[in-house]
Amino acid sequence: MAGWKILPAISAGNTIVIKPSELTPSTTLMLAEACTAAGIPDGVVNVVLGPGRSVGQSLVGHSDVNMVSFTGSTQVGVNVMRPAAERACRTHLELGGKAPFVVFDDADLEAAAQGAVAGTLINTGQDCTAATRAYVQRPLFDSFVDRVQTIMQSIKLGDTSSPETDLGPLISTTHQEQVAGMVDRARAAGGKIHCGGEIPADADLRNGSYYLPTLVTGLDQKAEIVQEEVFGPVLVALPFDTEEEGLALANDTRYGLAASVWTTNVFRAMRGVKTIQAGCVWVNDHIPIISEMPHGGYKASGFGKDMATYSFDEYTNIKHVMLDLEGEDEKDWHRTIFRRRTSE
C-alpha cells in the first residue's frame, strides 16, 4: 500500500514523509531502505514513526505539507481531513469499505463460492476491498452457503512462514476482540453461524490473534455486521429475489469502495457494473488489483485515486501558461472590453 503512494509521488517530483501504522512499521522501513539502495537521494523518501493521534496529526496540520494522502478507516480519515481542510491542504483519502458480492442465479456456483472465500479471507479479511456482504439470488442461496461453509472449514490456520498455512493471525489481540465482539452481537441478534464464529481452541493458536473463518446468515439488511466494516475473516450472506433488489441491497451502504457481480449474462453484468456505486466493480472475480487499475472509492470510502496514470494527478499541481505568439499591440478580444476611438 505504501508503494502505491510513494512511487507516483516521487515520480511526479515530490519529496515525501510517510507515517506507517504504529502496529506495522517494519515493512515501510524496509521499503525506505530499498529506495536508498536504488539510489534515491537522502531526504526524498522519509519515514516518521509514532502514534497517529500525535505524530500523524502533527504532520497533516503542518504548514510545510502541501498534500496529504491517507489510507485507513473512514473515521480516522475524517480526523485526518479536518486539520488539512482548515488550511485548505489537498487531501486524498482511501477509506473503509463494505464490499458487496452479488451472485445472480445464472452464475457459476463453484466459481462464486471459491471467489467468495478468497475474497473474504485475503489478508485475514483485513482489506478494505474484501468481500464482506454476499447477496445471492434465492435459487442459488442454499447451495452457495453450503459450498462456502465447506471451503471455509477446510482452511488451515497457523504460522504464516509454513507453506501449509492458509490463514494467519489478525493484527493484534485487540482487533481480534473487536472482530469477535461483532460476531457475538450478530449471533445474539439471531444470526446463524455456519462455521467459525470463535477464537480457535487449538493450544498452538489460542495464544495468537487468530480467528476462525466465519459465515453468517439469518440477518436483515439493517444488522450491524451487514452495515459496518468487520475487517476480519467474516462473510455475511443474504438472499434476494429480483435483479433490482439485489443491486439495491448492494448500494444500501455508506461505503462505495469495491464490489463484484457474478453472472454468465454479459448484459446483466453490465447493468450491475453501471448500477453499483463503487470505485471498482469486478465481474466474476473479486480482489485482483493490477497497476493499470485506478483504485479509490465513492461515498464514505473516500476520494482520489491510487495507481494507474490517475495517481500522478493526485501529486501534481497543474499550471496553465499562455504565451502570445503574434506580437500585436491590439487584439480582437480587446474590442469586447472597450471600443477603439479615433481620437486615441
Residues taking part in catalysis: 94, 128
Q: What residues contact residue 309 under an 8 Å CB cut-off, 6+ apart?
A: none
Return the half-sphere exposure (C-beta side, CA atoms, 13 A cut-off) of residue 226: 21
Contact assessment for residue 40 and residue 11, using Cβ atoms and an 8 Å cutoff: no
Angle CA 46–50–52, to nearest 5: 105
Whole-angstrom CA distances from 51 to 19, 25, 35, 58, 187 are 9, 11, 24, 10, 34
Contact assessment for residue 185 and residue 230, using Cβ atoms and an 8 Å cutoff: no
Runs of H (alpha helix) within the chain: 2-11, 26-37, 57-60, 74-86, 109-121, 138-153, 173-188, 203-206, 224-227, 243-251, 266-275, 310-314
8-state DSSP, 84: H
- The owner of cell 515520480 is 11
Q: How many CB atoms lie within 10 A of CB 164?
A: 7
The β-bridge partners of 135 are 102, 238
